[in-house]
Structure 1
Amino acid sequence: MGLGRSFRNVLRFVVDWCRCGPAHGSHIAFGGVGFHGFNPAHPKDCCVSNLAGSSRVVSILTLGSRCTGLLRDAVFARSFGVGGAADIFFLAFQIPNLFRRLFGEGALSAAFLPMYAERHQQDRLSSARFATAGISAGIGFLTVVIALLELVLLSLKPEGEHPALAVELLRIVLPYAPMVCLVALLGAVLQVRGRFAPTAAAPAILNVALVVGVLTGPDGDPTARMHNAAWAVLVAGVLQVMWSLAVLGDQPFAKPNRKAWCEAKILAKRAVPVGMGLSVLQVNILTDTLLASWPALFGATVFGFAYPLEEGANTALSLASRLYQFPLGVFGIAVATAAFPRLSQAKDQAQEFQDTLRTALGMALFVGLPASVGLCVVATPIVRAVFEGGLFSASDAPRVARLLWTYGPGIWAMSCVHVLVRACYAKGDRRGPVRIGMAVVGTNLLLNLILIWTPLEEAALGLTTSIGAAIQCVWLSRRLDARFAGVVGIVASTAIMLPCILGASWMLCDSAPWVRALGIVITGAIAFAIAARYLASEVWSAWTKGS
């Protein structure tokens, strides 16, 4: 009884804090880090201190979610191994995630947030009506799309074990798409209100549900465990929606009038180009996934020629992408998430906008560049430490590590792209990112089709993603005339870090994989922090600013 009451009290406190937050200007210690409530009355505070505080809160909670994500992927790797059936599972799991990234976190959220932020500043009732109309219309449309796709899947009678498994899993997980998009849109409402914690913590619900789903499946039957995991996705979706609604309450919503529905139509018109620009990385990932899944879906040949990739390519690709997305999600996307409302509110103040963008890009590069270098060095030990065991054998580890070596160099660019694309949309520039995005997607696809036939094989898929991200980053930076805070110091600090982590890797070469990986990470973090404290003091201060 006492434990249950304590749990309810803690849960009530978390929900109340996320819902109401601290009073504007008040200070709350969060995991040892100070967080200041959002106060738009102080532009300078918004630009540096508030951006840093929000980024840290999102990073801390995203770190927790990503840790549960690594646990989830470790369970997947050990339970499913690297093979054709695992390829199909990761493909099916990728589809609702694609909807989330394209619509929930992409088109709808990126188009919705600036419009809602503008109305929230001017008239709370108007913003509440717009939120109700916009979210209802967006989720209603997605629900219809998913229902039509379900009808198509029900009509399919595929031949072969793997295609049949793909259809079965997709039938189960597709309804998760509108639920997770609803969670993302509710999260956008929270972000405008200065509450970043609930959205950053929500993915942990999915990860825990998946782990429970897989582990409760029968031993020695990977297919049954895959079905368990698929049903766990739906349970997690319901829990995520309930969590978000509990945090928000009914304050941000009101019965929409005719004006609100007209604004929802404007939102729909804006969402298409916004989604095309913001989802370039996701389209690249989907292209990679389909190319890697070809052997499992269609066999070992294409038009009579031997296909260059083997079964298990998509599993290796998925596991590698989870590892490179760890620093990207914890820090890169966290900065972009925290910066987007600030950029939207500063769109009419040129200097404040540029200051916020410069700080955000510097903060993204501050973590992205050393992560790019460090991940290449730590690739093999971290793959072995996280995934090796069960059906994931020691011979599978080099396959995933090789992909990490090609994904790693692009982390800095991917981190900055998230900030730059959101900056374009905050300024109302929707065509530029679309054109740039289409060019990058075309380049990525062309390089994929060429390079997979070289000795690179599946590693080519990671390399082209990194190249595409770098091209997009440079192009968008020039379009926005963007500047990066502390870039010289960050590069110098990373250069100092490199020999330190190489030395640590050599000294620990005979140690257990987890000891070697941890030693490299700790050595790199300490070396970079010491160097950046003096060489990149401006960005260091932005990340560590507590007042």
Structure 2
Amino acid sequence: MTREMAERLFRSTAIVSCMTFLSRILGFLRDIVIARMFGAGMGADVFFVAFKIPNFLRRLFAEGAFSQAFVPVLAEYRQRGERDLRELIHHTSGTLFTILFVITLIGVLASPLLIMLFAPGFISEPEKLDLASQMLAITFPYLLFISLTALSGSILNAFGKFAVPAFTPVFLNISLIAAAIWLAPILDEPVKALAWGVFIGGIVQLLFQLPFLLKIHIRPKPRWGWRHEGVQKILRLMLPGMFGVSVAQINLLLDTILASFLVTGSISWLYYSDRLVEFPLGVFGIALATVILPSLSRQHASDSVQSFSDTIDWALRWVLLIGVPAAIGLILLAEPLLVTLFQYGEFTRYDAHQSSLSLMAYGLGLLPFILIKVLAPGFFARQDTKTPVKIGIIAMAVNMVLNIILMIYLAHVGLALATALSAMLNAGLLYIGLRKRNVYQPAAGWLKFTAKLVLATTGMIAVLIWLTPQIGDWHEWSGRLRFQVLMGLIAASAISYFVLLHLLGIRVKSLIRPRQRDF
């Protein structure tokens, strides 16, 4: 990989990471507000189900399969000329809007049936089922708004404008926080305010991106274009990709379905632990995947085989460099994190402990989750959606079996552990697939790089274990003291890790500006 390319990819990844970091911080604030006001009781369980269904479909259709299929085709059409590019955008936006409008209408009308399908444990509790159905009817249109937002974001990303799409989710968090604080107190059923917050947040996110499309002289004029060559190609890539790229999300949804049969609070415990895993996954993993997909697509379109492999190699080194310590930090600091962020008001000490158990299990899957985000674009950029689908089917089948077995013995923790184990299998098979096709050939220096990484990580673990107070102290401290100690631990572990990396000879700058292959 050339120095210029590495610098460009790193700069773009840093921009997306910073914007995503801001969004995730607001997301934590949102969750803190929800935890304080609604705890882990019936209302919270119901909202998380009503939000998870359109959010799952959003990741499946919009940020998952659609983006992975649309960006490579967009890169291809950019080489054909401006006229063909605009026609593709017009027909794609019109077709996507029409299909999603119909799906949204069906979702709103069939909300009770969808709740029975996605949370069958609610059937035996009519009050839960009725409230969840009402809230899903409010939240389901979010799918339409956020999918069109994803279309706009994909276009901006393809033109190298990464900051705006990464910043956009901030508005959903602001909307939910505002709804919880100001709308909830005036409603007969306060938790319904959260559903309206989702609805409003979807609209605001879409409206925010439109002016930035105009700045790059893109004015989508939606037209029905089912028969358009580019739309057909996107659909051919998208349909199998809907499964392949979103296996992790399907597994998380299966966790919710099965958790609906467990004790009240199980869904919320899984939600809060998943949110903490989503922080490093979004700030780094998804940011990295967002940046490398357009680059890989251009390299494939121009037959730059070596550059394609070098880009994947560069991304994998960054995944290990950041993902390994992040996963270990989540596991070792699971309960302190949850106590510090959420144990206030209605969210009890017991809720924090139960959530920490599932967080440790999810933490085992953080590195595989990130690897999937980076390895899957290696297939999709080459317009190969069949291989990830086959791998996804295997991973999901294994997850289903593990869910049932582990849930019997470990309840909600077993569901989280099953998801982590199936993610490991998924990532491993994706890696093997790229190697077998000679799409990716590891550059020199991996053995030395890995050995040094293990030593630095071991040192960081020793520092964390030595400095972390007993959990009983965390429960007694004020929120401010908890936060100060937690930030101190994170800073100490990060400093020790990167100092050890430097002493062992791994120069982070060499990954930004590579001059040699041994790092």
Pairwise same-fold verdict (TM > 0.5):
yes
Segments of 5+ residues of structure 2 without an aligned counterpart are: 117-122, 515-519
For 1:526, the equivalent position in structure 2 comes to: 495
State the match for 1:26 in structure 2.
Answer: none
Picking from 385, 388, 396, the partner of 2:343 is: 388
Give the aligned partner of residue 33 of structure 1: none
- More moved, 466-475 vs 532-541: 532-541
Moved over 6 A (4+): 154-159, 256-260
Aligned residue-pair number: 487
Task: Output the CA distance in 1 between the equivalents of 2:504 and 2:6.
Answer: 19
Give the structure 1 partner of residue 230 of structure 2: 263
- Is residue 459 from structure 1 mapped to residue 459 from structure 2 by the alignment? no
Shift of 1:260: 8.0
CA distance in 2, matches of 1:336, 1:153: 33
Aligned residue identity for 1:422: P
> In the aligned structure 2, how far is the partner of 1:271 from the partner of 1:235?
28
Distance 2:36 2:505 in 1: 41
Change (3 A) 1:95 1:123: same
Q: How far is the alpha carbon of 1:466 from its aligned partner?
A: 1.0
1:42-441 matches, cutoff 5 A: 44=2, 47-153=5-111, 160-219=126-185, 224-249=189-214, 251-253=217-219, 261-294=228-261, 309-347=262-300, 348-441=303-396
Instruction: Pick which of 257-266 and 367-376 moved more.
Output: 257-266
For residues 503-540 of structure 1, the C-alpha deviation after alignment (integer angstroms, 9 at most, x for no partner) is: 11148974643233222211111111112234463555
Give CA deviations for 1:134-178 in whole Å, capped at 9, x if unaligned.
122123211111111222237999871100011000000101101
Q: SS of the counterpart of 1:440?
A: helix
> For residues 368 and 436 of structure 1, what CA distance do their matches in structure 2 show?
22
How many angstroms apart in 2 are the aligned matches of 1:145 and 1:217? 28
Give the 3 Å change call, closer, same or farther, for CA 214–543 of structure 1 in structure 2.
farther
Q: In structure 2, what is the Cα distance between the partners aligned to 1:216 and 1:183? A: 26
Distance in 1, Cα, partners of 2:144 & 2:106: 13
Letter in 2 for 1:537: I
Kept in 2, the 8 Å contact 1:109–1:188? The answer is yes
CA RMSD of aligned residues (A): 2.4
Q: Which residue of 2 aligns with 1:515?
A: 484
Counterpart amino acid of 2:171? I
Alpha-carbon distance in 1 for matches of 2:512, 2:334: 26
Q: How far apart, CA to CA, are the structure 2 residues paired with 1:254 and 1:72?
A: 33
Q: Does 1:470 align with 2:437?
A: no
Q: 1:155 to 1:524 in 2, by over 3 A?
A: closer
- What one-letter code is carried by the residue in structure 2 that aligns with 1:171? A
Matched letter for residue 84 of structure 1: M
C-alpha distance in 2 between matches for 1:495 and 1:56 = 26
Shift of 1:205: 0.2
CA 1:46–1:147: 2 relative to 1, 3 Å: farther
Q: 1:49 to 1:84 in 2, by over 3 A?
A: same
Whole-angstrom distance in 1 between the partners of 2:425 and 2:203: 39
Distance 1:534 1:191, change over 3 A: farther
Partner residue of 2:459 out of 496, 515, 523: 496
Q: 2:93, 2:220 within 8 Å by CA — same for their partners in 1?
A: no
TM-score, length-scaled by structure 1: 0.84
Letter matched to residue 532 of structure 1: L
TM superposition shift of 1:214: 0.5
Provide the identity percentage: 32
Whether the 8 Å contact between 1:407 and 1:463 is mirrored in structure 2 is: yes
Q: Once the 2 structures are TM-superposed, how far is the Cα of residue 121 of structure 1 from its aligned partner?
A: 3.2
Q: State the shift of 1:204 in Å.
A: 0.6
Return the alpha-carbon distance in structure 1 between the equivalents of residues 423 and 456 of structure 2: 23
Partner residue in 2 for 1:4: none
SS state of the match for residue 389, structure 1?
coil
Alignment check: 8 A CA contact 1:77 1:392 kept: yes
**Residue 398 (structure 2) aligned to one of 434, 437, 443:** 443
Q: Provide the C-alpha distance between the structure 2 equivalents of 1:536 and 1:134, rounded to a whole number of angstroms.
A: 49
| Shift in alpha-carbon separation, 1:147–1:406, aligned structure 2, 3 A | same
Instruction: Give deviations 1:407-441, integer Å, cap 9, x for gaps.
Output: 11111111111010111111222111000001101
Provide the C-alpha distance between the structure 2 equivalents of 1:270 and 1:169, rounded to a whole number of angstroms.
Answer: 33
Whole-angstrom distance in 1 between the partners of 2:426 and 2:505 = 25
Tell me the CA shift for residue 357 of structure 1.
Answer: 0.5
Q: Give the direction of change, closer, same or farther, for the CA distance of 1:507–1:89 in structure 2 (3 Å limit).
A: closer
Task: Report the secondary structure of 1:370's partner residue.
Answer: helix
Specify whether residues 462 and 535 from structure 1 end up closer, same or farther in structure 2 by C-alpha distance, changes over 3 A only.
Answer: farther
Amino acid at match of 2:153: G
Aligned partner letter, 1:53? R
